[in-house]
Chains A and B, each alone.
Chain A
């Protein structure tokens, strides 16, 4: 049974060899003449201003949490939709219950003002 996994192992080995070869060869073969412009950050957004460890509003965390919640919901719904024909009435009721729980949560956070920005 373990033989089935040999392709995966080969894939791991190949990707490891590939990564090592790319970095190692470019170190060995290329010439490196740094200038000020060459060393500057390239296509990485605006240069950093000040420290990154700043306090920021808790609203961002709330948004991130809600996003995660409904993201997971979508993941469940897609997998459920893919096997909809096979899970039958039980699966339908189960997903309705799941959605009911989510709706109660949504109702709660709405009424508590978690969806208001300020």
Chain B
């Protein structure tokens, strides 16, 4: 099918996955409202939201066979969008699967939890799809509003409310940066359409207004992807939020922000690379070094994983700054690996924590490997993958990012990434050492993890290992997804001042 935006009704087809998901979410709202059952609608709405995600995935698959006319429609129909949509939908489905146990245990078994999650996913899908600054801003708001509420979803827990408020204030602040940057770019280019801006804005002819817009956009996105020094809200928000939603925040929401980041900076402003690469270079360096050092002294496993997720944003920034096709392919590949391993790790953490999230210190994990071999083995696998050791997806993903950064002429970033990874081994392995080489102080009771949670963990583990052992097929898909999106441009110089020829 051909999509031609001169016929406005074609927007409906172009946005089919989003439409399907939002209609399902609205239907679920009605179901939740009219629910008559004795037990509350939470579980039923949760199961139905899985169906909704599956329907949206089917619509997304249908988009593969759709071609668009031109590259200036407000909604992009390209494989990049479809690939990232699958990541969002998969992450949301895994989050729903690991949520069932948690919400029942913590007494927040409400239908709204899943409905807000669906709205959040719609926002992300808009972020990946839109080729218009206004639509990107709308996507951000839709995603963030649902996320603020979900962060504060444990109403009786002061920590959760505090996290929600902090997240809301910082999120609103960063949205202001974003929208002001967009306004300046609109002033410089005369349009909000990224496809048109890409043709209008050429290197060598850059106005102060455009430079200001790019700087403000960089700051706004740095807040959203929690890059150092704009990361301070992250550990608090991640620690206070309900654990399954923390997993979702660390993976899908970050992926959504990165999707728009790449759509604007790499695809639309690819020709202006020399103007934005220096600031993002520093962001990437700081984001790789600082959180890895702070994570060394964390005792709370949720905070440890939060700092680890900030560090991973730094690795993804390296892929972004490369701004070539292998950089974007490695970004997509790493995003898949990062999503499954992080959700898996958080799933085990939420099982171990027990009622009211009591057991979250690292010393609570001592001896776990002998008393509860299965959860310990799974957590060890995910942590090894996060650390980037073979034979896991995390290793291959890091390897491809290193390759892309060297191809793009950033050997210094590759060296820093390798060193940051070395530092990170310490705190990932500390948990594993604690599980297998310490004796338990007070043995954990029998763990309660239902079939759905086990399924989610098994899927995460399988994908993590699969990406590590047979990476060529997913990498091929990632490469096909980004083909032709970036124009091959001549780089002026790399970070050492050496001219790089491409």
A residues neighboring B (CB under 8 Å): 90, 101, 104-105, 107-108, 110-112
Contacts and interface: CB of A to CB of B under 8 A. Distances in A.
The secondary-structure label for the interface of chain B is helix
A105 B8 CA distance: 26
Interface of B: 8-9, 26, 29-30, 32-34
B8 A111 contact: no
Can you list the 6 inter-chain pairs with the closest CB atoms, starting with the nearest?
Answer: A111-B33, A108-B33, A104-B26, A108-B29, A90-B8, A104-B29
B9 A90 contact: yes
Contacts of B33: 107-108, 110-112
18 contacts: A90-B8, A90-B9, A101-B26, A104-B26, A104-B29, A104-B30, A105-B29, A107-B29, A107-B30, A107-B33, A108-B29, A108-B30, A108-B32, A108-B33, A110-B33, A111-B33, A111-B34, A112-B33
Contacts of A101: 26
Contacts of A107: 29-30, 33
Nearest to B32: A108
Contacts of B29: 104-105, 107-108
A42 B34 CA distance: 52
Nearest to A111: B33
A112 B34 CA distance: 9
A112 B8 CA distance: 37
Nearest to B115: A108
A24 to B, nearest CB: 34
Nearest to B25: A104
A47 to B, nearest CB: 34
A114 B223 CA distance: 35
The secondary-structure label for the interface of chain A is helix
Contacts of A111: 33-34
Contacts of B34: 111
Contacts of B9: 90
Contacts of A108: 29-30, 32-33
Contacts of B26: 101, 104
A110 to B, nearest CB: 8
A111 B8 CA distance: 35
Nearest to B8: A90
A47 B65 CA distance: 70
A101 B32 CA distance: 15
Given A110-B33, A111-B34, 16 more contacts: A90-B8, A90-B9, A101-B26, A104-B26, A104-B29, A104-B30, A105-B29, A107-B29, A107-B30, A107-B33, A108-B29, A108-B30, A108-B32, A108-B33, A111-B33, A112-B33
A105 B27 CA distance: 10
Contacts of A90: 8-9
A69 to B, nearest CB: 13
Contacts of B8: 90
A117 to B, nearest CB: 19
B35 to A, nearest CB: 9
A107 B8 CA distance: 30
Contacts of A105: 29
Contacts of B32: 108
A107 B30 CA distance: 7
A89 to B, nearest CB: 9
A76 to B, nearest CB: 15
Nearest to B29: A108
A9 B61 CA distance: 54
B403 to A, nearest CB: 46
A88 to B, nearest CB: 9
A13 B6 CA distance: 45
A90 B9 CA distance: 7
B115 to A, nearest CB: 9
A100 to B, nearest CB: 8
A108 B27 CA distance: 10
A105 B33 CA distance: 10
Contacts of A104: 26, 29-30
**In the complex, which of the residues A105, A107, A108, A110 has the most CB atoms of chain B within 10 Å of its own CB atom?**
A108
B6 to A, nearest CB: 12
A54 to B, nearest CB: 20
A105 B28 CA distance: 11
A20 to B, nearest CB: 30
A116 to B, nearest CB: 14
A70 B8 CA distance: 27
Nearest to A104: B26
A36 to B, nearest CB: 44
Contacts of A112: 33
Contacts of B30: 104, 107-108
A45 to B, nearest CB: 31
A2 to B, nearest CB: 12
A61 B26 CA distance: 23
Nearest to B9: A90
A104 B119 CA distance: 14
A110 B30 CA distance: 10
Nearest to B7: A90
